[in-house]
Amino acid sequence: MNVGILALQGAFAEHGAMLDRLETEHFEIRQRKDLERAFDALILPGGESTAISKLLRDLDLLEPLAEKIKNGLPVFGTCAGLILLAEKVEGGVPCFGIMDISAKRNAYGRQLGSFHAEAEFDDLGMIPMTFIRAPYIQSAGSKAKVLAEVDGHIVAARQDKMLVTAFHPELTDNLAIHEYFLNLVED
């Protein structure tokens, strides 16, 4: 298995480190020619969703990646990656607009609103969660399955081979969410 990690901004190196620990091949996607490499899954890391969306367009990556995702490429979006995949975005404009969720940008406030929590995640049990200027999912449509909630807000969901988290699992030592995604890819 080979995973492409969008490396335009955000914690892409940390996602790579998690995949290294899971002995999974990966490479960074920085420009159009990187899409010529074969890959089985994609990670959209956190960062600033508006900046990432602009870079995707400027570097001519948006359309080819959107096409791959629509054709079933498994994708994992964390924080800004969640916003990029959302069909609706309060306080922003949809980018890929593929996943049946409505996201609220910066829902937990500014950088000072960052926090750590622990919550149930699907059938994995309690998972540590790091939130940094995080969004949350205001609503999940019938195609999306809610996987985790914190303080009454949806913070993780899945739709087909798309997984999103409002938190940053790559900033903890816990490999469970990345393993969950890799199992989703293999299914």
Which sequence positions are flagged as catalytic?
A: 79, 168, 170
The Cα 142–Cα 144 span in angstroms is: 6
The Cα 75–Cα 43 span in angstroms is: 6
**DSSP notation for 88-114:** EEETS--SS--EEEEEETTTT-SGGG-
Question: In this structure, are residues 153 and 107 in contact, taking their beta carbons and an 8 Å threshold?
Answer: yes
The Cα 91–Cα 104 span in angstroms is: 7
Question: In this structure, are residues 140 and 98 in contact, taking their beta carbons and an 8 Å threshold?
Answer: no
Backbone phi and psi for residue 7, each to the nearest 5 degrees, phi listed first: -120, 50
Question: In this structure, are residues 3 and 19 in contact, taking their beta carbons and an 8 Å threshold?
Answer: yes
- Closest by Cα among 100, 102, 124, 128 to 116: 128
Helix or strand or coil: residue 55?
Answer: helix
